[in-house]
Amino acid sequence: MYSQNQLVTTNSNPAPAIAGMLRSVPANTLLSTAFDARGKLPLSESLGFFQDAIGGEFVAGARYLLSGSPGGGKSRLATQICLDLGQQDIPSLTILTEEAPSQMKRRAQQMTSDWTPVNIARALAHVHVDHNVFDVTTLPDFFMRQVLSPGGIYHGVRLIVLDSIQGQGLASSATKSYAKVLDFARMCEEHGITTILLCHQTKRGDLAGPKSLEHSVDTSLILRRAMQYSLLAVRKNRYGPPLLQPMPLRFDPVTIRLEPAPHCEARPAMARTFAGAGTGELELQAAVTVPGDGARGRMTAPGLPRREIEQLVSCISQMKDMDFGDLNYSINCRLPGTGQYYPILGLPLCIALIGSYLQKSVPQHNIYIGEIDLFRNVRSIAPAISQALKAALDAGDIAAPVTLFVHPTSAAEFTPSESVQIISCRTLEEAVFQTWPDLR
């Protein structure tokens, strides 16, 4: 059970002060209920972004579910937290069901490569590792023998990380096995031990497990991969507000520790294009967000063909390290005078979606023109549009400077100048890397 410093009655409980004013305090009411003041596990400033995401405090005894696709950074973040606590002489245990302890050791050594030898030794000495749990149904028994028992190997740990729930190929339909995992987490909670349960996600962005898994934890976090970034969101949080607008993070290239990504404010993105004579410039605005708790992603694109947009989203999701899962997509575009959607809007629309997903702004002087096919190739533009664009540039109808992104065949039709730069791109990936070179 909780120790006295974890379950206390504080001044925020008005019962003692009001008891004298009432003849008797009603039983089984909030007035007579003891205030549950949980302790916390202190984290350093380097993990301030994580504390901000979960509501300000890493709560002792809380159950955290950390899900995401491979490569999103779940194991790295968990190891980073363990090392941070270890540097403060707070012991933790990581139960490995997928990788060997030597792999975690290698990751920990790289994460601490800029620490002093004394701090490295202190941190590693407090991070316990076990890889002998071959069946998650044995976790409650493991907890009783190895953690709760005074003679247990891991008695006294304050944090337990399970990496991961599905490490032995646990199917979503194995409800009894998942129930044992939740029993284990509840036992940890009863004794003030914080748990982080790492969980896989399906290709659609759903948890690889029953719905009861997310309902039974205190906080549900999601790490999605986006190029060199990881996007952290909180769908459910009993200790603070949810974080539905993803927080962009990046891996330090040397230490591989997660840290806030620079210059990545959460905002929609806009990409410019040119649709021909009589229409001129157009703006395509897009916003990508994480759905609310329990909600599925939805698409809002007034006046645009839904099937065309879904096809473009599917193309983006096939790009390396682009985890376009079950998200919300809001798109706004003023169509040409005919009200018809033109395929050449595909490239600027993809750039706007990716920019919002990465939470990176698109340079306002860029103009994107081109259809995107199923292979993510950029198609050349029609001669009529090229002629109209050249005329608009010569007449000064388009404010300089201008950087034009088109297929190489179309790029050859334009003459570069001090005010007009021509970028040829055969694929969507080339257009993305030319727009944001730091993603390479």
| 3-state helix/strand/coil string of 15-29 | HHHHHCCCCCCCCCC
Local structure of 136: helix, strand or coil: helix
Q: How many helices (H) and strands (E) does the chain have?
A: 13, 16
3-state secondary structure of 299: strand
Residue 9: the pLDDT is: 34
Name residues whose C-beta falls within 8 Å of residue 70's C-beta, 6 or more positions apart in sequence: 200
Number of residues written out for the chain: 440
Number of C-beta neighbours around residue 101 at 10 A: 12
Cα 53 to the chain's mean position, in Å? Answer: 11
CB–CB of 244/201 below 8 Å?
A: no
170-to-74, 247, 252, 337 alpha-carbon distances in Å? 18, 30, 32, 55
Structure tokens at 311: 């096809």
Question: What DSSP designation does 207 have?
Answer: B
Q: What is the dihedral of CA 66, 98, 225, 431, to 10 degrees?
A: 180
Residue in the block written with tokens 């088109």: 406
Check if the beta carbon of residue 246 is closer than 8 Å to that of residue 233.
yes
**277 vs 282, 339, 380, 385, CA distance in Å?**
12, 15, 17, 7
Q: What is the pLDDT of residue 20?
A: 56
At 193, which amino acid appears? I
Contact 181, 175 (CB under 8 A): no
Handedness of CA 133, 134, 136, 141 (dihedral sign): negative
Structure tokens at 212: 């009861």
Query: Can you name the residues that pair with 68 across neighbouring β-strands?
Result: 200, 223
**What is the pLDDT tens value at each position of the chain, 440 positions in all?**
434 333 333 345 555 555 555 567 777 887 777 656 678 999 999 999 999 999 999 999 999 999 998 888 999 999 999 999 999 999 999 999 999 999 999 999 999 999 999 999 999 999 999 999 989 999 999 999 999 999 999 999 999 999 999 987 888 888 899 999 999 999 999 999 999 999 998 877 778 888 889 999 999 999 988 777 888 999 899 999 998 778 888 899 899 999 998 655 557 999 999 988 878 889 999 998 766 545 677 889 988 888 999 999 999 999 988 877 677 889 988 776 666 788 999 999 999 999 998 888 999 999 999 999 999 999 999 999 999 999 999 888 898 899 999 999 999 999 999 999 999 999 999 999 999 998 88
Residue that is written with structure tokens 């659609």 in the block: 204
Sheet holding 243-251, edge to edge: 127-130, 92-96, 159-163, 194-200, 63-68, 219-226, 229-237, 243-251, 258-260
Give the residues across from 302 on adjacent strands: none
In order of start, what are the domains of the chain with their CATH numbers?
38-260 (3.40.50.300), 269-439 (3.30.230.10)
Burial class (CB in 10 A: 0-12, 13-18, 19+), 29: exposed
**E strand or H helix that includes residue 52:** helix 48-53
**pLDDT value of position 21:** 56
Q: 62 near 239, Cβ under 8 Å?
A: yes
DSSP 343: G
Nearest to 226 by CA among 345, 321, 362, 359: 321
- CA–CA separation, 189 and 60 (whole Å): 8
pLDDT of the residue at 91? 98
* Beta carbons of 47 and 77 less than 8 angstroms apart: no
Q: Please give the Cα distance from 88 to 44 (Å, whole number).
A: 9
